[in-house]
Structure 1
Amino acid sequence: MLSPLDHEFVRSVARAADRTAVPLAACPDEEPAGVPHRGLARRVKTLVAAYRSPESELHGSGQALAAVMTHLRALRGAQTPSGLFAGGDNVQSPPDSAFTVNDVCDAYVLAAGGGPELQDITAALAEIAGAATPSLLTGGVHTPNHRWELSAALARLHRSFPDDRLPARAEEWLAEGVDIDPEGLYSERSAVYAALVTNPSLLLLAEVLGRTDLLDAVERNLATTLDLIRPDRTVETVHSRRQDQRLSFALWPYLPHYRLLAIRTGRGDFARAARLAAADGVDDPDLLAQTLLTPDLCRALPAPDAEKLPRDGYLPTARLAAHVSATAHTVVYGGSDVPEHRRIRSGLACNPTFLRMFAGAAVLDAVRLSQAFFDLGPFRAADMEQLAANRYRLTQTLTSAYYQPLPTDRRRDDGAYRLVDEGRFSASMAFPDRPQDEVSHTTRVEAELREDGADLRIDISGPSVPWALELTFRPGGEVRGAVPLGDGSWCLTTEPLTYRVGDDEIRVEATVETGEPLVGPDRSDVLRYDPGQDYTVVGGTDAAAGNRVYLGGHGPQALTLTLRATSQA
C-alpha cells in the first residue's frame, strides 16, 4: 500500500525550484549570455516544472513560458551541425551533450503533458532532441560513468521518440556490465559521479528498459554509501579516483535516490539517510521536476531506523575502514593507486591522506606522512591488512636505484640511447639495460580504532632520511600545546596537543620508541609537507588546507601517536 503524500516535502521542492525559476521569469526576454548548454537545459527543465506545479509561484505563468523560449533559442544556437553542443573542455562530446539531452527529454515529457499553450516549447525541445540523436547513437565516451549517462539519454529519447535503434545501442553499452565491485562501489569510487550520474542514470534505464538488475546495483551502492556518511553530513571521498578525492561532498545530492528506494522498499536505513540528506533543507532546484516525473518521490518516508552505535566497516576493494561511536568517527585509508601505477594521473586514487577523525565540531581532516626519499612523494600505502577487529596495518615500500655502466654489448658509439622513464625520472639512458643498485625504504603504519579515537604506530625503516607527519585540522578551532611556526602551522613536540572547537576536542600525544628524538620548531627544512616531484616538476601541489601541525625527525624511527576525542555531539 502506498504511503500518503508528504505535502511539506512537495512544498519544499517547489520553493527550491522557485528560487532559481522566479528570477528568470521576471526577465523573460533577457538573453542568457555566457550560460553553458548544460545550464541552459537545466533552466528550461526547472522553468517548465515550475509552470506545471500547483505548488510553484509560477504555476500557469506566461512569463515562465516566455523565459523557456528565450533559453531554448540560446540552447538551439549552441548546437553544432552534428547535433552535439559546443562549449566546455571536451570537443564535440557525445557524453557531455548527453547530460543536456537528458534534461531536454525530461522537459519534453513535462511540456507534452501541459496543454496547447506549451506546443511551441514541445516542438522546440523535439527539434533539439532530434538533431542530437544521430550523434548520440554512434558517439563514444571516455570515462566509466559516461556510458551510463549516454545510455540514459538514448533511453529517454526512445521514451518520447520511439526508435528501436536507441534501446539497442543502450543495451550495447550495458552489455559491458555495470562497473560495480563486490563491496557496492563503482569503479571510479566517486561520490560525485555516483550521486549525480551513475545512480540516476541506472534508475532511469531500469525503468525504461525494464532492467531490475540495474535497480539492484543502485540499491547496493546506496547501502554501501550508508557507511561512508560522515558526521557533518558529507560522504567520504578520500578513496575516490576522480576530482572529489580532494574535496568534501555533501550528502544532499543522494536525497532523491535514498528517498525513492526507501519509499519503494520500506528500508528504514535508507529513510534515515534521506532525512539526513534533507536535514539542512531542500535546496536542489531540479527536485521539483523529478517529483513530477516520478510521483513516488512525493510519498511519505517509512519510519527511519535508529543509528546503530558503535559500528565499524571495512571495504577491502577500496582498502577503506571506518569506526563510528558516539564520541569519534575515524577513517583509515590505504587504497591509493599510485604505488602500483607509479604516477599521478586523473582517474587514479592519489590522495595521500591515510587517517581522518571527527569529534563533533573538532575535525582532523587529514593525517599525511612526508618522506624525503628520492623525491617520490608522501606515504601512500600499497597494502592494507586487517589484523583484528578495528586494527589495520598499512605498508609501503619505495624502491629506487643507482645505475651502473652499460654492458659492452649495449653501448653505442653515437651515445644516442633510448629515452626511458625509470619510475621517477626520464632520461636518454636506456635504464632497463643497465645493472642497478637498488635502495629501499619501507614505512608501516598500524592503526587501532577505538571508541574514543585511535592509536597509531609508525615504523620508518631504511636509509636515514627526513620525515614529517602532518595533521591538518579543519579551521575554526584553537590549537594548544604546540609551538607556532607561522602561516597557520605548528610544531608538535613531546607535549600533548589539543585542538578544541567549543566543547569538542581532539588530543594528540606522540612518543618516540626507537631512533632519534623529534626535531624542534627550528627545523623548517624537515617540518613541511612535500608532495613529491610529480607535482613539483610542474609547480603544483596537493597540499591540504587548514590548521597544520607537524612533527618530524630522521629515520629509521618508530613512534606511537595517541589520538583521543571528546565530543558533546
Structure 2
Amino acid sequence: MSEAVRILRMVEEHWEQLLNKIEQTDDELEREAWVSRGLINLLSPLYCHSESNYYRDASLLPWIEQGVECLLKDQLDSGCISLLNCNIDSPPDTAFQVHGTAIAYHVLERSGFPELSDVTGGIKLFLERAKPCLLTGGIHTPNHRWVICGALANMYEIFGDEAFKNRAFQFLEEGLDITDYGEWTERSNAMYNSALAIHLIDVAEVFDHEPSYEAVRSNLFMMQYMFHPDNHIVTEYSGRQDLGQRATMNDWYYTSLHLMASKDRNPLLISMAVLAEETAQVGSNALMYWMLYPEKMALPEGQIEPMPENYTVFLGEGNRVNVPVNIPYGNQIRRHPHGAPLVRHRRGKLSVTVMSGQPELLYVQFGRSRMVGYKLGLGWFGIANVTFPSIEQVGDSRYRMEIELEGCYFDSLPPERVRGLNGSFVDMPNLERAKTHVTILKAAVEFELLEDGLNITLISDNVPGVYFQHVFQFDSDGEIGGEGVRPTEIPGILQLSKGYALYEYDGECIEIGPGEKKHRDVVMRNEKPNPDVIRLTINSVTPLRQTLSIRCYDAVRKARPN
C-alpha cells in the first residue's frame, strides 16, 4: 500500500465516524460544529482520489456543497472570517482558512469533473471576497505575518495579481523572526512551528523566496532535539497553547518534512519524515498534497540518518531575557522570552530540559515516567516562583542560572504630589515613592547533567531566614512513595521531609532527595498550584548550599543507585 493510499484509508474512516455522529445527534449545536466549512477539505480528496471508496460518489456532493455554504455564510462583509471564541473579523484566521481552501480548490479544479463546478465556483467566490481582507489586514502575533504571507502566495497562484506579492513582501521585509539555531518567537514546537513551515514553503515556492526555505530548514533541524523518548514533542517551554501538552507531529509537520526531505535529499530530514509517517496525526491536508505534488512528497531512496537519542545541546547561549527582579513586580516590563537559553539532554530513555525565562526550570522524563516541571518557590515579597534570565555553562556537564532579587518598601510622597487626590492611593504617582530598607537576595541554581539523571545545587547564602521551596510536579498517572513523603492538608500536594521519594509509572522510576522540612508552608505565597499534577515539595531556609539528586532507573533494580 502506498503512503498516499494509507492516508486515504484513514481519511475515509474519519468521514465514516463523523457521518455516524452527525446522523445520530439530536444536539443542534453539535451538528453545526460538525457540518461546517471543514467538510470541504475532508471530502474533496475522497471524491477526487481514483482509489477512494467514495470516488465520484454522488452521496458526497451535498455534504461538500454544505461545506461551501458554511464557508460563504461565515464570511463577513470585510472578506474576513472570525474565530468565534477569540478573534472577530480576523485577517489571520482568514489566512489559515485560505491556505486549506486553496489546496482543496486545486484538487477539485484539477479533477475536471463538471459536477463540481458549483463547488469550485463557490470556493472561488470566497477567495475573491477575501482579497481586501488579506491585502489590508493586520496581525496579532508574530506567526500571523507568515501565515498571511502564505495565504497571499496561495492567492497569487490562483489570481496572479501582483498586489498579493507586494503585500506579502511588506511583511517579509520586516525580517524572519528566527534565531540562529532555529527557534521562532513563539517557541511553539507542537503547533506554530509546523504552521509556519507549511505556509513559508508556499511563500518560498510561489515567490522564489530562499530565506523562507532557510528558516524552515533551520527550525526543522532544531526539532531533531525536541523529542522525548516516546516521540512526543518537547512543549514544556512553549509560549503558546501547546505549553505542557502531550503531542506528536501533525499534518503540517508531516507535509513539510516530506516536501523538504524530497527537495534537499537530506538524510536527517528523511529520517524525520519517516518518523512523521510512523507517529504523526495525519489527514486530508497531507492527502491533498500527495494528490497535487506526488513527486515532491515522495521520499528519496538511500541511507537515512537516525534521529539522535544521545546528546546535550545548549541553545541560546549568551542570551538574556527580562524577568521580574524587583518590587513592585507588576510594573516590571515583560517581554516574550524569545531566545531564552535552554539545554536539551538525552540519554536514550532519559530526556531533560533545563529552561530559563519561565518559572518551570526543569523537565525530566524517563521512558514514559514524567516529572513535568520543577519550580523554585521563594518567600520573597510575594514573588511566588523564581524565573532566571539566562543560563551559563560552568563545566563539561554543569549549567548555572543566577539572579539578584531586590526587595524594598516605599516612602511617603511630598504633599504637592498628592494634593487634590482625597487620599486615593491608587491615583497617586506611586512609582515616584523613594525606596527604603532595600535588600538584595542572591540566588543561583546549578544543574549537573548525568547519564542517569542530574544533580540540582541551590545556592543562596547572603540573606538568612528566607523560605525556599523546591516544587517537583509529576504526571498524575504515576504514584509517589517513600519513607519521608508526607501528605498535606491540600489534596495532591505531598512534602518530602527526609530521605528519598520515588515516582513510578509502569515500572520506570524517577527518584528525588534527600528531603528536609525547615518550614511549614505548603505553598509559597501567591503561587497557584496546578491541580492536574502530583506535587512534591522540599522546604528549605537560607543560608543554603544544598544539593538534591534526581536519578532515573527501571523498577527491576529495586534499590537506589549510588
The TM-score with structure 1 as length reference comes to: 0.85
User: Whole-Å Cα distance in 2 between the matches of residues 39 and 531 of structure 1?
Assistant: 45
Partner SS state of residue 240, structure 1: coil
Alignment equivalent of 1:21, drawn from 15, 21, 26: 15
1:227 matches 2:261: no
> 1:555: Cα distance to partner?
2.4
Q: Distance in 2 between matches of 1:519 and 1:276?
A: 48
The equivalent residue for 1:10 is: 4
Q: Distance in 1 between matches of 2:194 and 2:31?
A: 20
In the alignment, what sits opposite 1:472? 473
Q: Which moved more, 1:304-313 or 1:58-67?
A: 304-313
Which residue identity is paired with 1:566? Y
> Match for residue 322 of structure 1?
344
Deviation at 1:284, TM superposition (A): 3.0
Shift of 1:429: 4.8
Q: CA deviation at 1:493?
A: 2.5
Cα contact 1:38–1:99 (8 A) shared by 2: no
1:32 Cα offset (Å): 8.7
Structure 2 equivalent of residue 172 of structure 1: 170
Partner of 1:44: 40
Deviation at 1:455, TM superposition (A): 0.8
Residue 384 of structure 1 pairs with residue 406 of structure 2: no
Query: What CA distance in whole angstroms lies between the structure 1 residues aligned with 2:146 and 2:420?
Result: 53
Superposed, 1:198-217 pairs within 5 Å as 198-217=196-215
Question: Are 1:327 and 1:566, in contact at CA under 8 Å, matched by a contact in 2?
Answer: no
* Cα deviation, residue 365, structure 1: 1.3
Shifted more, 447-456 versus 323-332: the winner is 323-332
Q: Which whole-Å deviations, capped at 9, do the CAs of 1:15-47 have from their partners, x for residues lacking one?
A: 22223334567879x999668899934320221
Which amino acid is 1:437 matched to?
H
SS of the residue 2:8 aligns to:
helix
Higher deviation after alignment, 237-246 or 87-96: 237-246
Contact 1:327 1:452 in 2 (8 A): no
State the percentage of identical aligned residues.
24
- The Cα shift of 1:141 comes to 1.0
2:2 corresponds to which letter in structure 1? E
Whether the aligned pair in 1 keeps the contact of 2:229 and 2:350 (CA below 8 Å) is no
Tell me the distance in 2 between the aligned counterparts of 1:441 and 1:327: 38
Which residue is 1:83 aligned to?
79
Shift of 1:491: 1.8
In structure 2, the partner of 1:343 is none
Report the equivalent of 2:485.
Answer: 483
Q: How much has 1:262 moved relative to structure 2? A: 2.0
Instruction: Say whether the 8 Å CA contact 2:18–2:34 is kept in structure 1.
Output: no
Contact 2:403 2:443 in 1 (8 A): yes
How far apart, CA to CA, are the structure 2 residues paired with 1:114 and 1:25? 24
> TM-score scaled to structure 2, two decimals?
0.86
After superposition, give the CA deviation of every residue in 1:126-146 in whole Å (9 maximum; x if it has no partner): 111111111211111111111
Aligned Cα RMSD in Å? 2.8
> Aligned letter for 1:169?
R
Residues 457-506 of structure 1, C-alpha deviations (whole Å, 9 max, x = no match)? 01234352322211112233332214241623322122122222233212
Residues 502-538 of structure 1 deviation map (CA, whole Å, 9 limit, x = unaligned): 3321222227xxxxx6348xx3xx1335554xxxxxx
SS of 1:141's equivalent in the other structure is coil
Q: Tell me if the contact between 1:406 and 1:435 (Cα under 8 Å) persists in the aligned partners.
A: no
Aligned counterparts of 1:308 and 1:85: Cα–Cα separation in 2 = 42
Aligned letter for 1:153? A
Q: Contact 2:410–2:433 (CA<8 Å) still a contact in 1? A: no
Alpha-carbon distance change, 298 to 243 in structure 1, aligned in 2, over 3 angstroms: closer
* SS of alignment partner, residue 441 of structure 2: strand
Task: Answer whether contact 1:315 1:321 (CA < 8 A) is retained.
Answer: yes
Q: Is the 8 A contact 2:412 2:433 kept in 1?
A: no
**Pair 1:565-2:561 in alignment:** no
- Once the two structures are TM-superposed, the CA of residue 371 in structure 1 deviates from its matched residue by 1.1
Q: Kindly tell me: are residues 125 and 24 of structure 1, through their superposed partners in 2, closer, same or farther at Cα, counting changes over 3 Å?
A: farther
* SS in structure 1 at match of 2:437: strand
Q: Counterparts of 2:248 and 2:187 in 1: how far apart (Å)?
A: 15
Q: Pick from 391, 414, 423 the counterpart of residue 420 of structure 2.
A: 414
Asked if the contact 1:324/1:330 (under 8 Å) is kept, the reply is yes
* C-alpha displacement of 1:92: 1.0
User: 1:50 offset after TM fit, Å?
Assistant: 1.3
**AA at the equivalent of 1:243:** Q
Sort the Cα spacing of 1:301 and 1:390 in 2 relative to 1 into closer, same or farther, 3 A. farther
Letter in 2 for 1:202: L
Distance in 1 (CA, whole Å) between partners of 2:211 and 2:203 is: 10
Please report how far the alpha carbon of residue 319 of structure 1 lies from its aligned counterpart in structure 2 after TM superposition: 0.8
Query: What corresponds to 2:319 in structure 1?
Result: none
Q: Hey, what's the Cα distance between the residues in 2 that align with 1:227 and 1:388?
A: 21
Distance 1:542 1:308 in 2: 35
Which structure has more relative contact order (CA 8 Å, sep 6+)? It is: 1
Question: Matches of residues 93-492 of structure 1 in structure 2 within 5 Å?
Answer: 93-115=90-112, 116-253=114-251, 254-280=253-279, 282-296=281-295, 298-300=297-299, 302=301, 303-316=303-316, 317-336=339-358, 352-407=359-414, 411-415=417-421, 428-461=428-461, 462-481=463-482, 482-485=484-487, 487-492=491-496
Shift of 1:451: 0.9
- Residues 32 and 165 of structure 1: is their aligned pair in 2 closer, same or farther, counting only changes over 3 Å? farther
Counterpart of 1:506 in structure 2 is: 510
Report Cα offsets for 1:293-328 as digits up to 9, x if no partner.
Answer: 332364245443234453110111331101111352
Unmatched tracts of structure 1, length 5 or more: 1-6, 337-351, 420-425, 512-516, 533-540
- TM-superposed deviation, 1:257: 1.9
User: Which residue matches 2:522?
Assistant: 527
**Residue 36 of structure 2 aligns to a residue in which SS?**
helix
Shift of 1:440: 2.5
Size of the aligned set, in residue pairs, is 523
Write the deviation string for residues 101-150 of structure 1: whole angstroms up to 9, x where unpaired. Answer: 22222211111111212111111111111111112111111111111111
Question: Is there any run of 5+ residues in structure 2 with no aligned partner, and where?
Answer: 317-338, 557-562
